[in-house]
């Protein structure tokens, strides 16, 4: 067999390929070890500081773009994003964050493709059904509230959401708000309507209501009444805007915009965001 023999050439090519794969595996192992070490240091820094948000807002953005970039069907991005929400909830529980609001579906999303919207609502029903019996939810006494406008949701979705709220209503641990069919403007309008109805029932005239109106009157009718306003809001996907998330409550919130799409949001990204929050000085307009 000569050096120019095709069989010899093929054998050399196969050996080279194996060496390349082995080298890539080593690189991946080293990269993974370095990332794990870095994540451990970040976690230690965050825990040593001790300060965590009292109310964390999460805008779960980038599911469709994640799927497109990965060559997956659009719906797969939403499915992987739903699994990621479970993972991030675990991180919040580990750090003892008292309240978390995750924005899953906005009022603007109602105009999306019916098949996509149906898939999202199906995921919502599935997740609500699972959370209602999830041992982590009950072990940590997580109280779940579903906020937003849900009148147009299918009956089976509404039943699952109601059952989830009722099954955790007695809990006194973390407060988890799931914002679906949610819009910040709609929330404020709803709060104003509730206040006007309340005052009308007490026999007050419109002039009397207007004269005595204070910001606290609106706050106590918001979906999040009874818990602190969010002090930290994270949005994934690289978009630098709120898009209507908690417009009233976020007046003094700190923001963090992360370039990664929601399904790819890693614990190291989460810890980086919290470390950034811990390094800020909140002045509340003073």
- Is 42 labelled as part of a ligand binding site? no
- Is 13 labelled as part of a ligand binding site? no
Which residues lie across from 176 on neighbouring strands? 100, 144
Q: For the residues of 185-246, what is the DSSP string, one character each?
A: HHHHHHHHHHHHHHHHHTT--HHHHHHH--HHHHHTTSTTTTSPPPSEEEE-TT--S-TTTT
- Is 139 labelled as part of a ligand binding site? no
Q: Is 50 left (phi over 0), alpha (psi -120 to 50) or beta?
A: left
CB atoms within 10 A of CB 130: 14
H-helix or E-strand spanning residue 226: none
- Is 108 labelled as part of a ligand binding site? yes
Catalytic residue, candidates 4, 5, 61, 140: 61
Respond yes or no: is residue 5 known to be catalytic: no
- Is 243 labelled as part of a ligand binding site? yes
- Is 65 labelled as part of a ligand binding site? yes
- Is 64 labelled as part of a ligand binding site? yes
Q: Which two tokens stand for residue 23?
A: 């080298």
Q: Is 222 left (phi over 0), alpha (psi -120 to 50) or beta?
A: beta
- Is 112 labelled as part of a ligand binding site? yes
Which residues lie across from 180 on neighbouring strands? 105
Catalytic residue, candidates 4, 83, 109, 163: 109
Respond yes or no: is residue 134 known to be catalytic: no
H-helix or E-strand spanning residue 222: none
User: CA torsion, points 236, 241, 242, 244, in degrees to nearest 10?
Assistant: -130
- Is 121 labelled as part of a ligand binding site? no
- Is 205 labelled as part of a ligand binding site? no
- Is 168 labelled as part of a ligand binding site? no
- Is 242 labelled as part of a ligand binding site? yes
Q: Binding site for substrate: what residues are annotated?
A: 62-66, 74, 78, 106-108, 112, 235, 241-243
* Residues with active-site annotation: 61, 109
Q: Binding site: what residues are annotated?
A: 61-66, 74, 78, 106-108, 112, 235, 241-243, 254
Q: Binding site for Mg(2+): what residues are annotated?
A: 61, 254
């Amino acid at each position: 067999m000569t050096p120019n023999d095709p069989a010899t050439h093929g054998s050399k090519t196969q050996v080279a390929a194996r060496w390349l794969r082995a080298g890539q595996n080593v690189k991946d192992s080293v990269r993974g070890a370095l990332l794990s070490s870095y994540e451990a240091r970040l976690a230690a820094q965050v825990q040593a500081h001790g300060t965590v948000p009292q109310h964390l807002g999460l805008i779960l953005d980038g599911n469709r773009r994640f799927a497109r970039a990965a060559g997956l069907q659009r719906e797969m991005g939403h499915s992987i994003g739903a699994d990621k929400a479970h993972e991030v909830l675990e991180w919040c529980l580990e750090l003892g964050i008292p309240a978390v609001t995750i924005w899953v579906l906005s009022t603007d999303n109602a105009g999306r493709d019916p098949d996509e919207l149906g898939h999202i609502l199906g995921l919502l029903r599935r997740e609500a059904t699972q959370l209602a019996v999830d041992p982590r939810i009950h072990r940590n006494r997580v109280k779940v509230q579903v906020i937003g406008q849900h009148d147009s949701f299918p009956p089976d979705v509404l039943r699952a959401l109601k059952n989830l709220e009722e099954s955790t209503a007695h809990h006194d641990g973390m407060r988890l708000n799931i914002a679906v069919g949610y819009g910040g403007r709609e929330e404020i309008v709803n709060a104003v309507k509730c206040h006007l109805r309340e005052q009308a029932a007490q026999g007050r005239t419109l002039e009397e209501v207007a004269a005595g109106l204070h910001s606290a009157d609106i706050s106590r009718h918001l979906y999040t009444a009874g818990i602190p306003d969010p002090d930290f809001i994270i949005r994934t996907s690289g978009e630098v805007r709120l898009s209507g998330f908690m417009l009233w409550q976020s007046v003094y919130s700190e923001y963090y915009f992360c370039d990664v799409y929601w399904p790819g949001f890693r614990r190291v990204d989460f810890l980086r965001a919290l470390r950034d929050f811990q390094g800020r000085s909140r002045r509340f307009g003073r």
